Copies of this chain bind each other. A is one copy, B any other.
Amino acid sequence: MSKTAAAEKTAQPVKPAKAAKGSRATGRVTIVDVAAEARVSPMTVSRALKSPELVQQEARDRIAAAIRKLGYVPNQAASTLASARSQVIGVLVPSLTNAVFIETLSGIRDYLSQAGYQFLIGETGYSKEKESRLISTYLAHAPDGFLLSSSDQHDILRRQLAASNIPAVRMFDLGKSNSDMSVGFSQTKAGYAAARHLIERGYRRPAFLAAQLDPRMMKRREGFRKGLSEAGLDPDVEVLLPAPTTVDMGAQLLARVLEIAPDCDAVFCCNDDLALGALFECQRRGIKVPQQMAIAGFNDLSWAACATPSITTIVTPRYDIGYKAAEMLIRQLKGEPVEKARLDLGFELAVREST
């Protein structure tokens, strides 16, 4: 049976399903079929796939031809069962309807796909309980690692991870110590930077507007308040709503802050969706931005730069957070040296027309 052109053309599986009564044969082409076709042992086929450098060139060629001829697709479940490695990473993000996390997922995907990993995506809805439940579910799939977004390591989660012995990297927030792996930036410093900017521009009565009050938002708030206090300004001009963020809520928050503090001259919104809603509300009321009201956002989503006026915002490295977190995790899994257990990617302030 030589490597004929005819054989090469056939891309379809040619294995007839076994007809034996009671047989469990799936009709699938297996590594055994490829081995027979290539006149080597199944073990050699396995090696040719995972560590080609251990296999003689000639054998490799015959195996490659056999794979093509038979249309062989490796069975990931069998591989996982035998090797106890699934090539799957569990990824948990707070929300999928938030563009921020989507871009982080893009970074994760770009790293993992080139590294040969798949991932399962879970949405925690900003809830620790849901996060724990998702981890339990995912454990059945024996993920090789986790990428998490929880802001602080609560006990249940810690115990689950310790019991399963599966490594995890936290994203967005930085861990307190180097014992946990984490990739992100300082939420507190970002909030502080926003305050400093508004103060330097001369605004004397800035407010903080926030929704979806997860721990990250509260850290941004903390930094913002610190900045105001240091400058001798009142840090208590703020409207906080626990409900999920929407553009429309930005409009509502702007309306509320004007009731509480009619002399408010600037708002720092904890994300760009709120900032956009606040801008729309100002337009509706005929309040000039930034002359009568400055608006700053957070994240630099697509519309911030091209709104009228363009919106000043904190540019966050969310794609890189996903990419680097995935890289850190995979390096750890491969036993490669991990440079830093705590990677601060920083942030930038984009100053635009709205402040």
Interface residues of A (CB under 8 A from B): 12-13, 26, 71, 73-78, 80-81, 84, 86, 96-97, 99, 102-103, 105-106, 109, 118-121, 123, 136, 139-142, 163, 246-248, 251, 273, 276-277, 280-281, 283-284, 302-303, 305-308
Q: Which of B76, B97, B109, B121 contacts A99 (CB 8 A)?
A: B97
For A251, the chain B residues whose CB sits under 8 A away are 306
A76 touches B140 (CB 8 A): yes
Task: Please report the C-alpha to C-alpha distance between residue A77 and residue B84 in the assembled complex, in whole angstroms.
Answer: 9
Chain B: minimal CB distance from A136 (Å): 8
A280 touches B302 (CB 8 A): no
Task: Please report the C-alpha to C-alpha distance between residue A81 and residue B76 in the assembled complex, in whole angstroms.
Answer: 9
A142 touches B75 (CB 8 A): yes
Chain B: minimal CB distance from A186 (Å): 26
A-B contact pairs, 6 of them (CB 8 A): A75-B81, A77-B78, A78-B81, A97-B106, A276-B303, A280-B307
Chain B: minimal CB distance from A54 (Å): 20
Q: Which of B277, B280, B306 contacts A277 (CB 8 A)?
A: B306
Chain B: minimal CB distance from A154 (Å): 16
Assuming the contacts A273-B302, A306-B248, asked whether A105 and B96 have C-beta atoms less than 8 A apart, the reply is yes
